Structure formats: structure tokens, C-alpha cells
Structure 1
Amino acid sequence: MANWSDPRQSAAPYRTAAGIQTEAYDAGLRSYMLSVYNYMTSGVLLTGIVAMLFARGGVDSPAANIIMSGGPLAWVIMLAPLGFVFAMSFGQARMKTSTLQLMFWGFAVFMGLSLSTVFLQYSGTSIAQAFFATAAAFAGLSLYGYTTKKDLSAMGTFLIMGVVGLIVAMLVNLFLQSSALDLVVSFIGVLLFAGLTAYDTQRTKSMYAQVAGTELEGRVVIMAALSLYLDFINMFLFLLRLFGSNRG
């Protein structure tokens, strides 16, 4: 009898090992994405709770007395979230994961303080409607970004440039006070951050292959959660500006 190996038999262990490896990768990816969404969701909830508490009491609330009245402390509260974002973005390579975690929670708290005036400006019904609409849109767009085979990187560059233009338009409208321009800015803002939700989800997913099992994974999880948090909050705020009713 000729001495040869049946290729079906020799290939079987390889296919089994490859299958196990794929399952392990998929399980790791699911755990990684779940961690990102847990951070992002917890940050949004923390921001909402802080905002509600700070605005509790209406015209007599800390939000009204500190932020609405202006002053140095109001500027500190409003600019602090931006400081956290810059510090985390430019310092992530030098920071420990635990430091980034603390900064993420600090960012969420100060965002809650700065957004507390939303509860003084808009009705509770408008806020709830905008929140649930944002949550539904975010879920659908994030699912699309996770499952699509289309490369969204080119779209991401366009969207980021669009955000820069949006910021310029908002600064210009501070002086013009045009209601028509404000409406256009809000509508474009919703579209831009909707697109960024899909883009950031795909980018978050693709990053896993580079950081899986390394010390970078924890830091990437937090920074990805920060990106998705910003997409959610900005989409919520622009929707509220478009459709929200002022508090009577």
C-alpha cells in the first residue's frame, strides 16, 4: 500500500484550529464592543442625571444661578468638557487606562453641568422625545456601521471637515442671530453626527484587530466610547434645537 496521507484527514485539524481561532476572535470583539457601549451609555446616563440634579429647582436651581447668570464659574463649567476632550485626545498615549477612566467620568460630570440649562430652556416632553429619537437613530446607525462591508473612511474625512465648517457657521451666527441659519445649522448638524456615528462605529470595530490582547485595548475602549458619546450628545442637541418646544 502506498504510504500517503489523506488530505481530508490532514486538513481537518487545521480547519478545527482555524474555527476555534475565529470563534475566539469574535468573542473578543463582542466583549470589546460591549465594553465601548457600556462606557458610552454609562457616560450619557451620568451626564443626564447630573444635568437634571443641577437644574432642579428651575429659576432657583444652581444651573440658573451659576450658568444662566454668567460669570467666571459659568465659563469654567462650559469650557471644562472641551479641556477634558483635548487632554484625553493628546495625552492618551502617556496616560494609564485608570487615568483615562477617571477623566472620562469627569468629562461626563462636567458635560452634565454644562448641559443642565437644557432643562431650563426646553419642556420635559421635548427633551424626552429628542432623547428617544436620538437613541433609536444611534442604534440603527451604529448597527449599520458595525455590519456594513463598505469602507466608510473616505466619508469620515468629509464628515470631520463638515463639523469644522459647522462650528464656523455657529460662531458666525452668534453675531448674526439668524433663525434661518440656525435652522440650517441644526439640520446639517443632525446629518453630520448621524454619519459620524456609523463611521466611528466601523473605526472602533476595525481598531480591535490592532489592539486585541495588548495594553492599548483598555485605552482604545475609553477613547472609542468618548467618540460615540460625542456623536450621541451632539445629535441629541441638534434634534432638540430643531424640534424642541421652549418651556412655558
Structure 2
Amino acid sequence: MTLKNYYNVNTREEGMNTLMRSVYMWMMVGLLVSGVTAYASVHSAVLMNMIYGNPYMIWVLFIIELGLVIAISAGINKMSVDTARILFILFSFIDGLTLSSIFLVYTSTSIAETFFIASAMFGVMSLYGYFTDTDLTSWGKLLFMALIGLIIAMIVNFFLKSSPIEWWVSVIGVIVFTGLTAYDTQKIKQMGDEMEAEGERNISKIAVIGALELYLDLINLFLMLLEFFGGQKR
């Protein structure tokens, strides 16, 4: 089923716009689930004790999140649309549990302001990725290597607890996830083009995997910016 036939539209542009609206809609659903979960969790003594009362629970949640990302990314072509959506919502919920920690460290005002800044940066770069005629494929390779280095540095600093390393990780993280926002947006657009040409992929599945990628870009950009704009509670 082609992109054009699926949405019963007359032009590729209309079909592509519909695809991107679906991507952003599901990304917003994921953000809403995470935000509500994080806010509710921090106001629940039971959930706070469950998450932070056991030093290993946060690692368990992280492993589950990682497993869900891998499952959705690797199995998107084999699973049904409903399954992909359920897994994405489940991931958003669990991510909300882990994100609850920011409400313990930063003020609600600074969290809201930082999220607004992150959203503005995300919006600009996503629009750039969608409308630019420049092929951003080379960005992907460089950003992926930088992301691997970033993850290694974060793991090392988990044990070192170095403030300078944390600062540099945040600086590099902002650059990486800003670039990934543009790259991933263009990649989603290209996936839509391939689906129209090959008639093999389902538009709804592309919307879910696209929403997951952009969700991760925005959330991680937001977390990196908290290092600079987040006001800590006294």
C-alpha cells in the first residue's frame, strides 16, 4: 500500500505532511504520558519508595527502557501497529518514572522554562531537517560516533562524579541531540519516500518509530539543557 493510496490524497506533499503530523502527534502523546507520570510519581510516596527506595530499581527501569527501544526499532516491520503503539506508550510511561527524579532536584519553574527552550530548539532543527535540500546522511555517522562517546563518558562519570566532565557531557550532548533532531527528521521523511516508492512499509508504523526517535531527541536535549538552565532546589 503506497503512501498516496493509504491516505487517499492526490499529491506526495499532502501525504508527507500527513505522515509528519502523525509522527508529531504520537511524539506529543508520548511526552504527555511521560510528563503526567513523572509529576504524579513525585507526588506519590508509594512510587517514590518503589523507584528510589531500592538502589537497583532505577537500573531495572533503564534496562526495560533500552529493551523497549530495541524491540520497537528492530521489530517494527514484524509487529502490528497496535503492538508498536502499546510498546511506545509503555516506554513513555516507564521513562516518566525515571524522569520523576528531576522534580526532586530542580524547581518546577526552571523545569518548565528549560523544556520551553528545548522545545524551541527542537522545533527549529526539526523544521530545518524537513525542509533542507542538504543531505544530512554524513551527519548521522558523526553524530552516532559522538553519541557512543557521550554514553561512555556518562558511564565513567557515574563513578567519578566529576563536575567538569558533567559540564562537558552536557555541552556535547546539546550539540549531538540538536543535530540528531534535524537528521532524524530528514530520515523519517526519506522513510516516507521509500514507502511510497516501494509500497512495502506501513505509514502508521513509520509514525510510531519516527515519534520514538524524535521523542528521544527532545527529552535528551531537555535533560542536557537542565545542566545550564535548571535551578536546583535549596
Please give the TM-score of this superposition, normalised by the length of structure 2: 0.91
Question: Does 2:208 correspond to 1:235?
Answer: no
Distance apart, 1:177 and its partner CA: 1.3
Find out whether 1:139 has 2:126 as its counterpart: no
Identity %: 41
State the partner residue of 2:168. 184
- Counterpart residue number, 1:201: 185
The answer (yes or no) to whether the contact 2:77–2:201 under 8 Å persists in 1 is: no
Quote the Cα distance in structure 2 between the aligned partners of 1:56 and 1:107: 21
Deviations 1:117-168 (A, max 9, x none): 1111111111011100011111111111111111100011100110000000
Stretch deviating more after TM superposition (165-174 or 65-74) = 65-74
Matched, 1:225 2:208: no
Equivalent-residue separation in structure 2 for 1:216 and 1:136 (angstroms): 30
Q: Structure 1: how far apart are the matches of 2:174 and 2:57?
A: 30
- Residue 62 (str. 1) matches residue 47 (str. 2): yes
CA apart distance, 1:220: 1.3
Counterpart Cα distance in 2 of 1:42 and 1:170: 28
2:157 equivalent to 1:173: yes
Does structure 1 residue 105 correspond to structure 2 residue 89?
yes
**8 Å contact from structure 1 (residues 187, 242) kept in 2:** no
Q: Name the residue aligned to 2:6.
A: none
Which amino acid counterpart does residue 26 of structure 1 have in structure 2? E
Q: How does 1:20-31 map to 2 (within 5 A)?
A: 24-31=11-18
The code of the aligned residue for 2:149 comes to G
Secondary structure of the corresponding residue to residue 134 of structure 2: coil
| 1:151 counterpart = 2:135 | yes
Give the drift of 1:68: 2.4
Q: Is the 8 A contact 1:55 1:61 kept in 2?
A: no
Aligned to 2:99: 115
1:16-46 CA deviation, whole Å, 9 max, x = no partner? xxxxxx9521111110110001001111111
Partner of 2:11, secondary structure, is helix
Are positions 1:33 and 2:25 aligned together?
Answer: no
Does structure 1 residue 90 correspond to structure 2 residue 71?
no
Q: What is the alpha-carbon distance in structure 2 between the residues aligned to residue 78 and residue 116 of structure 1?
A: 13
- Partners of 2:11 and 2:24 in 1: how far apart? 20
What is the root-mean-square deviation in Å for CA atoms of aligned residues?
1.8
Of structures 1 and 2, the larger Rg is shown by 1
Taking structure 1 as the reference length, what is the TM-score of the superposition? 0.86
Check conservation: 2:129, 2:185, Cα contact below 8 A.
Answer: yes
Q: Structure 1 residues 83-92 or 35-44, which shifts more? A: 83-92
Give structure 2 stretches of 5+ with no counterpart.
1-8
Kept in 2: contact 1:67–1:117 (CA 8 A) = no
Higher relative contact order (CA 8 A, sep 6+): 2
Query: What displacement does 1:171 show?
Result: 0.9
Superposed displacement of residue 72, structure 1: 4.7
The residue that corresponds to 2:145 in the other structure is 161
